[in-house]
Amino acid sequence: MSRDKIELGLLGEKKAQEFLKDNGYKILDKNFRTALGEIDIVAKDKDCICFVEVKTRTSDQKGSPLEAITKNKQHKLSQMALLYLKNKNLLHKSARFDIVSVMQNLQEADKIEIIKNAFSLDNRYLY
C-alpha cells in the first residue's frame, strides 16, 4: 500500500472518530489488532458494542464503501469481533457492525456518513 493511501486512511479514521463522538458514540479502542487483521474502531453506542470499519475515498470511482466490505472481509471482522468480545468479557453485550464512509474532498467539505448495522455477525464462528 502506498504512503499516500496509508495517510489518507489514517486521516479518515481520525475524522471518523470525531464524527462518532459528535454523534454520541464512546470510543473504546482504535486499531484493535489480531492475527487476522485489524478492527479500525470499537465504540459503544448506548448499550451496543459497535465494530466500525472506516472506508476513506477521494472519489466514488472504485465503488461505495459498502461494496468494499466483501464477504471475506465480513468473515474476518466477525472473527475479530468475537475475539474482542471474548477477551474483554463482553460476550453478553449486544454488538453490531457499522461502516463509516469518509469522502475526502479538496474543493468542499468532507462528506461523512455512517451505515449502522451494515452486516450481521457470521454465526459459524460462534462455536
Kindly list the structural domains of the chain, giving each domain's residue range(s) and its CATH number in brackets, ordered by start: 3-125 (3.40.1350.10)
Show the cell assigned to 35: 492475527
pLDDT at 110: 80
pLDDT at 127: 41
* Contact by Cβ (8 Å): 65, 57: yes
The mean pLDDT values, 10 residues at a time, for the chain of 127 residues are 82 94 97 94 96 89 78 92 94 94 77 90 53
Cα(72)–Cα(67) distance, integer angstroms: 12
* SS3 label, residue 83: helix
Show the cell assigned to 100: 463509516
Show the cell assigned to 63: 465503488
pLDDT in tens, 84-105: 999 999 999 999 999 999 988 7
**What amino acid is encoded at 73 in this protein?**
K
* Contact by Cβ (8 Å): 79, 36: yes
pLDDT at 124: 53
Phi, psi of 13 (to 5 degrees): -65, -40
Q: Which residues pair with 42 in a beta bridge?
A: 29, 51
